Amino acid sequence: MLGIDPGLTRCGVGIVDVDRARRGTLVHVGVIRSAPDAEIGDRLAIVAAGIRAAIAEHRPDAVAVERVFAQQNTHTVMGTAQASGVALLIAAEAGLPAATHTPSEVKAAVTGYGSADKRQVQAMIARILRLDAPPQPADAADALAIALCHAWRRGAPSTSRSGGGLTPAQRAWADAERVARTYLRAGS
């Protein structure tokens, strides 16, 4: 499972294997970097080349990308959205199923709390993947969190209204998904 935290200056790329017991193992983590003063086309080409290289080397079975939400800084949102589009295009070209997840879905999946901060996400990724230290920078940890979120979602037990059989983190994740769906329907 390939997770991508899209960005132009730093695009996090994380690949994990997840077994039937939902245990994750780190396969690859990195950050694709481009110079902020380079032309946008060149920056997107760098991101594309980095994602293609990760797919070619590690052959993930699916791609998950963090869904872009509007922020105050329009310039940042545009660059993030463009990098996200490149990631989704490359997944399609490679014949890989692709999905997007909101930041709150991802945070809830790995920490049990949809408003967790960067340090909490990094700490939980280190714990879940049994790493000696949290992945740096935060973009790398975010990419791994996105990959885990999607892998767990694909194999997640069905959720009932009572939440029977779900861990507290899985219930928080299901709640975050419901909120995201409601938000998306309201915006349509």
**Would you call 139 a catalytic residue per the annotation?**
yes
Could you say which of 5, 105, 142, 177 is catalytic? 5
Could you say which of 37, 61, 66, 142 is catalytic? 66
User: To which residue do tokens 């290289």 refer?
Assistant: 53
Joined tokens for residue 87: 């990631």
What DSSP state is assigned to residue 38? Answer: S
What DSSP state is assigned to residue 164? Answer: T
Q: How far apart are CA 174 and CA 105, in angstroms?
A: 8
3-state secondary structure of 9: coil
Query: Is 154:83 a contact under the CB 8 Å cutoff?
Result: no
Could you say which of 39, 42, 57, 139 is catalytic? 139
Query: Is 89:96 a contact under the CB 8 Å cutoff?
Result: no
The angle formed by the CA atoms of residues 167, 170 and 173, to the nearest 5 degrees, is 155
Query: Is 123:112 a contact under the CB 8 Å cutoff?
Result: no
Query: Is 91:85 a contact under the CB 8 Å cutoff?
Result: no
**Would you call 5 a catalytic residue per the annotation?**
yes
Active site residues: 5, 66, 139
